[in-house]
């Protein structure tokens, strides 16, 4: 099925405005990845494997951020979900290693890629990666949107 970029009339019928979608005319392709994880699963991994789990999956900056929070497992779970979502959006599956996708920043999260994951992103024409993360008492979720370069 062929798809085309929405025109102004289509956006208005959908309830959007051009101002609300400033890049709608420019975006040619996006890829989306979503992940949801139980915070308890990460809490158990931290209890069982401790620093080994942390150093295998998270960069030094990510560990410092999460460990500085009152409820570290909640923040580790959010970053874990974000890494999964980015990997899915890039279509790299288990090709990446955990630390090659670093979740940065507050208040708006950002993504820094390195190693094989950065090379893969370049190969598939990935541009900007937008990321949204959230959590409740029990769950952490992330959505990654990869725009075409």
Q: What are the beta bridge partners of residue 30?
A: 147
**pLDDT value of residue 18:** 41
- Cα distances from 140 to residues 34, 44, 83, 103, 134, in angstroms, run 11, 15, 12, 14, 6
Q: Which of 5, 14, 139, 28 is nearest to 77 (CA)?
A: 139
Position 101 confidence tier, pLDDT thresholds 50, 70, 90 = very high
Report how far residue 114's alpha carbon sits from residue 101's, in angstroms, rounded to the nearest whole number: 7
The radius of gyration computed from the CA coordinates of the chain, to the nearest angstrom, equals 17
In this structure, are residues 117 and 68 in contact, taking their beta carbons and an 8 Å threshold? no
Joined together, the tokens standing for residue 37 give 């994880």
**Alpha carbons 58 and 27: distance in angstroms, whole number:** 31
- The answer to which of 13-17, 55-59, 128-132, 139-143 has the lowest mean pLDDT is 13-17
- Tell me: the pLDDT tens digits for 25-84? 555 689 999 999 999 999 999 999 999 999 999 999 999 999 999 999 999 999 999 999
pLDDT, averaged across the chain: 86
Query: Which domains, from first to last, does the chain contain?
Result: 28-148 (3.90.470.20)
Residue 106: both structure tokens together:
């507050």
Letter string b/e over residues 105-121, b meaning 16 or more CB atoms within 10 A of that residue's CB: eeeebebebeeebeebb
pTM: 0.80
Q: How far apart, in whole angstroms, are the C-alpha atoms of residue 88 and residue 71? A: 27
Note the pLDDT tens digit of each residue in 137-149. Answer: 999 999 999 999 8
Strand ranges of the sheet holding 139-148, from the earlier edge strand across to the other edge: 30-38, 139-148, 126-135
């Amino acid at each position: 099925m062929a798809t085309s970029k929405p025109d102004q009339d289509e956006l208005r019928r959908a309830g959007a405005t051009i101002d609300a979608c400033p890049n709608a005319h420019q975006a040619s392709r996006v890829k989306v990845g979503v992940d949801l994880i139980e915070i308890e699963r990460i809490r158990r991994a931290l209890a069982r494997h401790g620093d080994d789990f942390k150093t295998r999956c998270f960069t030094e900056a990510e560990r410092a951020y999460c460990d500085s929070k009152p409820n570290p497992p909640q923040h580790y779970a959010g970053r874990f979900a974000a890494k999964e979502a980015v990997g899915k959006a890039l279509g790299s599956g288990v090709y990446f290693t955990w630390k090659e996708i670093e979740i940065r920043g507050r208040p708006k999260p950002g993504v820094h890629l390195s190693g094989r994951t950065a090379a893969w992103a370049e190969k598939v024409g990935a541009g900007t990666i937008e990321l949204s993360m959230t959590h409740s008492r029990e769950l952490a979720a992330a959505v990654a949107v990869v725009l075409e370069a």
